[in-house]
Amino acid sequence: MIMNCAKPWYAGASLRHTLFVALATICFSLLAFQGARAADRFSLAGTVSSAGEGAMEGVVVIAQREGDTVLTAVTSDDSGRYAFPRDRLKAGDYSIRIRAVGYRLPEADAPRKVTVRIDKAAQLDLTLEPVTDKSRLAAQLTSLEWVQSFPGTPAQKDLLVRNMVNCAFCHSLERVVRSPHTAEGFLSVIQRMKIYETDHSSAERIQIVSTPDPLEGLMWYGRKAKDIADYLATLNLSGGKATWDYPLKTLPRPSGEGTEAVVTVYPIPRQPSVIHDLDVDAEGNVWYGNTGWDYIGKLDPDTGEFQEWEAPNFRPPAEPGTQRILGVMDIQVDPEGRVWAAVGGTKQTVFLPETEQWRIYDLPVIWKNPFLSPVREGEKAIWGTGLTRPPEGDEWPEYAFRRNIETGELSEGIDLFGGKPVPQDPNRANQRNYCYMMEQDKNGNFLCTTPEASAITRADADGNVRMIPTPTPHAYPRRGYRDDQNRFWFTEFWADRIGVIDLDTDEIKEYPLEPRYISPYYARPDAKGYIWVSSTGSDRLLRLDPRTGEVVKYLMPVYYDARKVVVDTSADHTTVWLPNKNRAQLIRVEIPD
C-alpha cells in the first residue's frame, strides 16, 4: 500500500471519520520519521527561488567552511530543493555562494552564512535576484557563452576557437573582451603569448619557451596573427567603449539528471601551479602531475591530505632568453600501483610509492611525446612515442615503443609516419602529422589519435601502420580511452563530436554534441556504458549515453579546463575526477546511483 501523506485522500462520509483520523496519525508519524531520516542523510538543505521564476532548478549552491580551501557544491532540482549529503560537510560555519548565470544573491546576503551541526540538518532557503547590470552579467559568462555572444562569421569564430587552439586554454575569454586593446595592441599581446609554453602555463603560472618573433608577418598556429588581432578588436572595449555593443547570450542551467551531482573541489597546496593530468589508484587515491613544477602529488580524498614528491627533469639547458621548462604532464597508475609519469626530457620514469623512489628508463628519441598509454588490469606494457631525428620535408620520423612494465624491456620502434605523404589542412601547411594521445587494443597493439590527419593511427606487432580517417573531416581527434568491448572512445575537438572506433573492424561512429564550440577534450567510458567528456570553455562535464545519444550536462562550481577524465573504479557509486589545469585544483564529481 502506498500512502500520499502530503496530500491525504479521504471521503466526507461520517462513517469514515475514524479511519481518516487513524490514517492521518500514521502519516504525521511517517513524516516525522522521514524528517529524522533527512537529518541523518543531509547536513544542509533548503530551497532556491526568485520572484521571476519561483522555484529554480539548476542553481549550483557552493559551501565553503571557514578556514578551509575545499569547496563542496550541489545543484537544485526541479522543485528548487538542494541538499548536501551528511558526510560531505563537516560541522562548522560555512559561507554559501551560488552559480546561476543571470542571477545572484542580494548584496546584503552575498555570501550567506550558515552553521552546520552534527545532530541536525541545517536549513537555508535562498532567494535570488536577477542581474540587470551588463558588466555584472559579463563576469558570470563562461568562455563558450562569450563565443556564442560574439558577432562575426563562423570562419572568424573558427579562427578564434579552433585554429588558435583556444585563448581559453590559459584564462577565460572575459579577460580578452574586457581589454581596451586595439588591433595593434592585440598583435603585441599575441607576440608575447607566443613565447609561453601553453601546457605548462596558466594565467598565474607562466613559463617562457622561446624568444619573440618579429611583429611583421607574425603567425599563430598557421594563421596570420593580424587577422586574429583585427577580429579581437571588434569584440572588446577598445575605442573607449563603456560596454559591449552586442547582446550577451547565456547557456541553459542544468536540468533533470544534470542536477544530481555532488562536486568537491580540492585546491592543491603548491600554488600557483598547473595540473594537466591525474589518475586514481586501486585505493581511490588521486595521483597528479604538477605541470608547472617538477613534482608529482597524491590526494587521499578520505582525509583531504596531500603529499608530493620531487620529480626528475631531463630537459637540456634552456636557450638564451628562455627558461628550462618545469613540470610533469601525463600520469598513469598501473595495476600494481606504480605511478608512470611523463617527466621532462627523453626518458620514461616510474615512481614506486612503497619506496618513494624513481626508476628511470632510456628512450631512444630526441623528443618524447608528453603522454603515456593507460595500463589496465592484465596488461603488461606501456607505450610511448618520440622523434628519432629532426623532421625533413614530409618525413616525420616518429616511432612508437612498447615497454614491458615488469621488466622494463623496450621493443623495437615502429616507424609511424616516416617517408609518407602527410595529409593536412592546406590552411595549416606548417603542421605535420604526430601522435597525440596513445592507447592499445585488447591484443596490446598500438594506436593513437592523429589530429592533423583527423585519423586514428594503428600499428600491429609486425610494424604495419594504417590510418583510419574520421567520418567528419578536420575533426581533430584529441584524447580518449578504450572500453572492455575493444572500442576506443575519443573526442573530436573541432567537430564538437564524440567518436568511437571498433578496434575489431576499424569502423568509426560519431555522436554530435551541442552547442557549437563546446570543444570536447577527453572521453572516458565507465562500467555502465556512459561516456564522460570534459569540455573546454563551458565549465560543464558531459555524460553521453551512446544507446540513446542523450547528453547530460553537469555545471561545475568553478571555472575549469580539464584535459583528462578519470573514473574511480574503487568507489561504490559513480565517481569522476577532473584535473583543473588553470586553477591547480582536483575536482571530484559524484553521481548517486
Classify 378 as helix, strand or coil: coil
| Residue 593 reports pLDDT greater than 90 | no
Count of Cβ atoms closer than 10 Å to residue 412 Cβ: 9
Torsions phi, psi for 386 (to 5 deg): -175, 165
Of 92-96, 191-195, 351-355, 564-568, the least confident: 191-195
Q: Are 327 and 290 within 8 A, CB to CB? A: yes
* Domain range list for the chain: 14-132, 137-240, 256-591
What is the model's pTM? 0.92
Nearest to 218 by CA among 183, 175, 245: 183
The domain 256-591 is placed in CATH, from the list 3.90.1300.10, 2.60.40.10, 3.40.50.10540, 2.130.10.10, at 2.130.10.10
| The domains spanning 14-132 and 256-591 adopt the same CATH topology | no
147 in Cβ contact with 164 (< 8 Å): no
- pLDDT (mean) for 563-584: 96
Residues 449-471 have a mean pLDDT of 94
Q: Is the pLDDT of residue 420 over 70?
A: no
* First CA to last CA distance, the chain: 25
Cα 416 from Cα 458, distance rounded (Å): 9
Under the banding of pLDDT at 50, 70 and 90, the label for residue 352 is: very high
Q: What is the CATH number of domain 14-132?
A: 2.60.40.1120
Check residues 433 and 491 and name the one with the higher pLDDT.
491
For residue 309 the three cell numbers come to 614528491
Cα–Cα distance, 291 to 196 (Å, whole number): 14
Mean pLDDT score of the chain: 90
Q: How many other C-beta atoms are found inside a 10 Å radius of the C-beta of residue 472?
A: 17
pLDDT tens sequence across 508-531: 999 999 999 999 999 999 999 999
pLDDT of residue 107: 85
Tens-digit pLDDT profile for residues 218-261: 998 878 999 999 999 999 999 999 999 999 999 999 999 999 99
pLDDT given for residue 165 in this prediction: 54
Distance of CA 245 to the CA centre of its chain: 31
Res 34 pLDDT > 80: no
Report the SS3 class of residue 500.
strand
Residue (of 486, 523, 479) closest to 504 by Cα position: 486
Among the listed residues 75, 128, 72, the one whose alpha carbon sits nearest the alpha carbon of residue 95 = 72
Instruction: Give the span between the Cα atoms of 331 and 574, in whole angstroms.
Output: 21
Contact 580, 291 (CB under 8 A): no
pLDDT score for 429: 55
pLDDT above 80: residue 10: no
Mean of pLDDT values over 355-361: 98
Average pLDDT score over residue span 526-539: 96
Q: What is the DSSP string of 126-142?
A: EEEEE---HHHHHTT--
* Residue 372 buriedness (CB in 10 A; 0-12 / 13-18 / 19+): buried
